[in-house]
Amino acid sequence: MVIGKPAWLQALDSEKFFVPCSHHEHAKKNEKNICCLDCCTSICPHCVSSHRFHRLVQVRRYVYHDVVRLEDLEKLIDCSNVQSYTINSSKVVFLKKRPQNRQFKGSGNVCTSCDRCLQEPYIHCSLGCKVEYVLRQKKDLSPYLRPCKTLQLSPDFHIPHDDDEANETTHSTIVEGDEPMASSDSENLSLPCAKIIHTSRNGRRYICSRSATSVTDEEYMTGNMSRRKSIPHRSPLC
């Protein structure tokens, strides 16, 4: 009897990661880098609140391939003989096979499924290669699976909240004043005074008033003339 892949393992192999989340397409940091093992789907950090009681595993990126921490995978399946790599002081394992284009020449081990050269004593270059080898040789994956009822994200994983994006930039709001400025006897252009309310990142609000000046036609022309270059005067002839 052939015991195939469980649903969560199939999801890790077939789901697409590091693509925008369709449910949060307008949000920042919406890349799908988490796999919900209970729903068997990839989710983004904004979706975590809807899956907070499910088993979650973070998917990372290393040399353009999907990897998962060895510590997390060991709670789900036996990862012995799978070559691991160290990223930011954490050991990770590739999820999918990585075929090698050129033929291996030299000493060392070769992957059982994709012929990639490996360090000793490893014989599988990824979790997918080991699963494929076990199913091909022993026809039963159940002895390698481990019961895992709870699996949470690491404590340093940042889960964004709605108010995070609101505080990322400083907002300015212009509020018109109630009383317009007094106008002169001549025809002029008078604008109402305005109050500019600045909201900083820490939530404090600063109010500064700015009055619009009244400019008459005569003052406008005088101002333009004063900015022109003065006409030079010729000295009298002796």
In this predicted structure, which of 104-108, 141-145, 234-238 has the lowest mean pLDDT? Answer: 234-238
When pLDDT is averaged across residues 113-140 and rounded to a whole number, the result is: 92
Over the stretch 170-209, which tens digit does the pLDDT of each residue have?
343 333 434 444 444 434 434 444 455 555 555 555 555 5
Q: Measured between alpha carbons, how far is 56 from 16 in angstroms, rounded to an integer?
A: 15
| Cα 199–chain centre separation | 25
Report yes or no: 111 and 119 within 8 Å, Cβ to Cβ. no
DSSP code, position 181: P
User: For position 108, what pLDDT does the model report?
Assistant: 75
User: For position 88, what pLDDT does the model report?
Assistant: 87
For 85-124, letters b (16+ CB in 10 Å) and e give eeeeeeebbbbbbeeeeeeeeeeebebbbbebbbeeebbb
| Cα 231–chain centre separation | 63
Over the stretch 146-162, which tens digit does the pLDDT of each residue have?
999 999 998 888 888 75
